[in-house]
Amino acid sequence: NAGVTQTPKFQVLKTGQSMTLQCAQDMNHNSMYWYRQDPGMGLRLIYYSASEGTTDKGEVPNGYNVSRLNKREFSLRLESAAPSQTSVYFCASSEEGTIYEQYFGPGTRLTVT
């Protein structure tokens, strides 16, 4: 099992450009999440999806859109990148149960100039 995979690993964008970050999980989890992590900070939830076909806003959704393409895949889109969106983006997935463990992907390091 690959767990949670993310592409790309690194990306540099110019202000105003758009891009989509891809995330996939092979653990048959219902819930998926997108976080951003700025230097020296914790993870802040951008969007999450409790199940295929549903998405909800997290703490910092402005400037982002998401698509839960199927149970495996959850993508994050930046329509018009801004320098404030320079960050490390982590995708995660979890299965509901008594132990609420989130599995994280390796992250995408995004720089917007």
Decide: 34 and 44 in contact? Cβ < 8 Å: no
DSSP string of 3-54, one letter each residue? -EEEE-SEEEE-TT--EEEEEEESS--SEEEEEEE-TT--EEEEEEESSTT-
Decide: 19 and 82 in contact? Cβ < 8 Å: no
Among 56, 69, 70, 84, binds another protein (CB under 8 A): 56
Q: Does 48 bind another protein (CB under 8 A)?
A: yes
Among 19, 44, 52, 63, binds another protein (CB under 8 A): 44
Among 105, 108, 110, 112, binds another protein (CB under 8 A): 105
Among 30, 65, 75, 86, binds another protein (CB under 8 A): 30
> Which residues here bind another protein, judged by CB under 8 A?
30-31, 33, 35, 37, 40-45, 48, 50-51, 56, 58-59, 88, 90, 94, 96, 98-107
